[in-house]
Structure 1
Amino acid sequence: METYSTLVWVILGMAVVTYVPRMIPMVYLSDREIPSWLNEWLGYIPVTVLAALLFPILFMENGSLSILQNPYLLAALPTFIVGFWTKNIFITVLVGMASVVAIRFFI
């Protein structure tokens, strides 16, 4: 019973931590006009976060810079090309997964 209670509290805590940062700006900014420069600046945040998440896995392996022998970087190249060319997230994800599998099989 102790484990169940702890699990419920952890889930509720995670829900609050996830919900509150989204709710506060929505409540605070819902009746205000956001300047166009701020709206444009906020549009760069997802790209920046994605780059910060991808950089270590694409360019580092075991804590050191690895460009030619890193399978994730090698798989990212055809994935990027297909994503840029097709603009289809489903096909891009499939190419990315297939690239990782193929590179791990051959290397």
Structure 2
Amino acid sequence: MEIRWDIFVLIAACSLVTALPRVIPLVLLSRIDLPEPLLRWLGHIPIAVMAALVGQELIHAEAGFSLHEHLDLAAGVLTFIVAFKTRNLLWTVILGCIFAMVLRLLA
């Protein structure tokens, strides 16, 4: 298999452009003590991201609610409760998938 250098350079440049916006803030903010109100505010980001992802799947602009016999909405509500109570993105994703799977198996 032949290695094309233009493709290699393109992949390397895309990797750099993807990594830099993540690495630079991490390096800079790791040396600074952030104020408590900012840390509390940053704690709300995982639940906001999860709500945006779940809400996007539940509501479609052209079709209205995509409830599929209300199973997606039920799984979404249960996932939201987990996210609100735990504020842990990992547990929210895991339990949200389990909720959706169990509700679809029961239906």
Query: Would you call these one fold, judging by a TM-score over 0.5?
Result: yes
In structure 2, what is the equivalent of residue 95 of structure 1? 99
Residue 23 of structure 1 deviates from its aligned partner by 1.4
For residues 13-92 of structure 1, the aligned pairs below 5 Å read 13-60=13-60, 63-66=62-65, 68-69=67-68, 71-77=71-77, 89=91, 92=95
SS of 2:73's partner is helix
TM-score, structure 2 as length reference: 0.59
Matched-pair identity in %: 31
Gaps in structure 1 of 5+ consecutive residues = none
Q: Which stretch of structure 1 is more off in the superposition, 89-98 or 74-83?
A: 74-83
Looking at structure 1, the residues matched to 37 and 59 of structure 2 have their Cα atoms a distance apart, in angstroms, of 33
Q: Which runs of no fewer than 5 residues in structure 2 stay unpaired?
A: none
- For residues 71 and 4 of structure 2, the distance between their equivalents in structure 1, rounded to whole angstroms, comes to 40
Contact 1:79 1:96 in 2 (8 A): no
Asked if structure 1 preserves the Cα contact closer than 8 Å seen for 2:54 and 2:76, the reply is no
Q: 1:23 to 1:5 in 2, by over 3 A?
A: same
Higher relative contact order (CA 8 A, sep 6+): 2
Structure 1 position 79, deviation (Å): 5.4
Aligned length: 99
> Quick one: which amino acid aligns to residue 27 of structure 1?
V
Change (3 A) 1:80 1:36: closer
* Residues 35 and 59 (structure 1), Cα distance of their counterparts in 2 relative to 1, 3 Å cut: same
